[in-house]
Structure 1
Amino acid sequence: MSEREHHAAGSEARRTLPGRTWRPDEQQRQDMLMRYLGAVAATSAARAAERPQTFGEPEPQSAPLEHPRPEGPSAAQQPVREVMDVPAVSVPDTMPFLDIARTLSRLHLSSAPVVDADDHVLGVVSESDLLAKAAVEATEQHSGPIGRLREHRLYDKAQGETASTLMTAPAISVHPGTPVADAAWLAARSRLKRLPVTDHKGRLVGVVRRIALLQALIRDDAKIREEIESRIIEHEFRLDRGAVGVHVTNGVVDVEGRLDRSLIPQLLEEIGEIGDVVGVVDHVTAI
Structure 2
Amino acid sequence: MQARDLMETDVKTVAADDDVADVFRKFARYEFSGFPVVDADDRVVGVVTESDLVDLFEPDDETLWIPVGLPPFVDTLTYQVKPPWADLDLGVDMVRNADRPVSDVMSTGVATVTPDAAVDDVLDLLAGDDPDINRVPVVDGDGRIVGIIARQDVIRAFRDERLA
Structure 1 length-normalised TM: 0.42
Q: What is the identity, as a one-letter code, of the residue corresponding to 1:177?
A: D
Q: Is the 8 A contact 1:180 1:216 kept in 2?
A: no
Distance of 1:179 and 1:215 partners within structure 2:
17
Higher relative contact order (CA 8 A, sep 6+): 2
Match of 1:186 in 2: 125
Q: Is the 8 A contact 1:123 1:170 kept in 2?
A: yes
Runs of 5+ consecutive residues of structure 1 not aligned to the other structure: 1-77, 148-158, 224-287
Root-mean-square deviation (CA, aligned residues, Å) is: 2.4
Runs of 5+ consecutive residues of structure 2 not aligned to the other structure: 66-77, 79-96
The structure that is helix-richer by fraction is: 1
**Matched position secondary structure for 1:94:** coil
User: Which of the pair has more CA radius of gyration?
Assistant: 1
Alpha-carbon deviations, 1:174-211, whole Å to 9, x = none?
11111112201111113322111111111111111111
Q: What is the identity, as a one-letter code, of the residue corresponding to 1:111?
A: G
Distance of 2:106 and 2:50 partners within structure 1:
10
The structure that is strand-richer by fraction is: 2
Match of 1:126 in 2: 49
Distance of 2:139 and 2:64 partners within structure 1:
40
Per the TM alignment, residue 116 of structure 1 is displaced from its structure 2 partner at its CA by: 0.5
Per the TM alignment, residue 105 of structure 1 is displaced from its structure 2 partner at its CA by: 2.1
Match of 2:152 in 1: 211
Distance of 1:124 and 1:181 partners within structure 2:
22
Per the TM alignment, residue 128 of structure 1 is displaced from its structure 2 partner at its CA by: 1.1
Per the TM alignment, residue 217 of structure 1 is displaced from its structure 2 partner at its CA by: 3.5
Match of 2:105 in 1: 166
Distance of 2:108 and 2:64 partners within structure 1:
26
Matched, 1:176 2:95: no
Q: Is the 8 A contact 1:181 1:217 kept in 2?
A: no
Alpha-carbon deviations, 1:37-95, whole Å to 9, x = none?
xxxxxxxxxxxxxxxxxxxxxxxxxxxxxxxxxxxxxxxxx111111111211001111
Match of 1:54 in 2: none
Q: Is the 8 A contact 1:118 1:203 kept in 2?
A: yes
Q: Percent of aligned positions with the same letter in both sequences?
A: 31
**Matched position secondary structure for 1:125:** strand
Matched, 1:197 2:138: yes
Per the TM alignment, residue 216 of structure 1 is displaced from its structure 2 partner at its CA by: 2.5
Distance of 2:103 and 2:52 partners within structure 1:
11
Q: Is the 8 A contact 1:194 1:208 kept in 2?
A: yes
Query: Residue 13 of structure 2: which of 90, 102, 111 is its match?
Result: 90
Structure 2 length-normalised TM: 0.71
